[in-house]
Amino acid sequence: MRRRGLTLIELLSVLTIVAVLAALLYPVFKSVRMRALDAGTECVLDTSVLLSGLIPARRR
């Protein structure tokens, strides 16, 4: 049985499909990442407000 590898056309076709999918999905992942970073910032701010209310301020 002769084992046959990928031809150049098949390899280029696969690489083209992967590149097109990456180009289509890049903006989606970028927006998801930005929303996650914004949500993380809001979470840290909410936590600091919560902790400032729980921990009594030192009196001078």
Q: Is the pLDDT of residue 60 over 60?
A: no
Alpha-carbon span 29 to 36, nearest angstrom: 10
Give me the pLDDT at residue 16, please.
96
| pTM > 0.85 | no
pLDDT band at 58 (very low <50, low <70, confident <90, very high): low
Domain residue ranges of the chain, discontinuous segments joined by +: 23-49
Other beta carbons within 10 angstroms of residue 12's beta carbon come to 11
pLDDT digits (tens, 9 = 90+) for 20-39: 999 999 998 888 888 887 77
Give me the pLDDT at residue 5, please.
78
Alpha-carbon span 28 to 48, nearest angstrom: 31
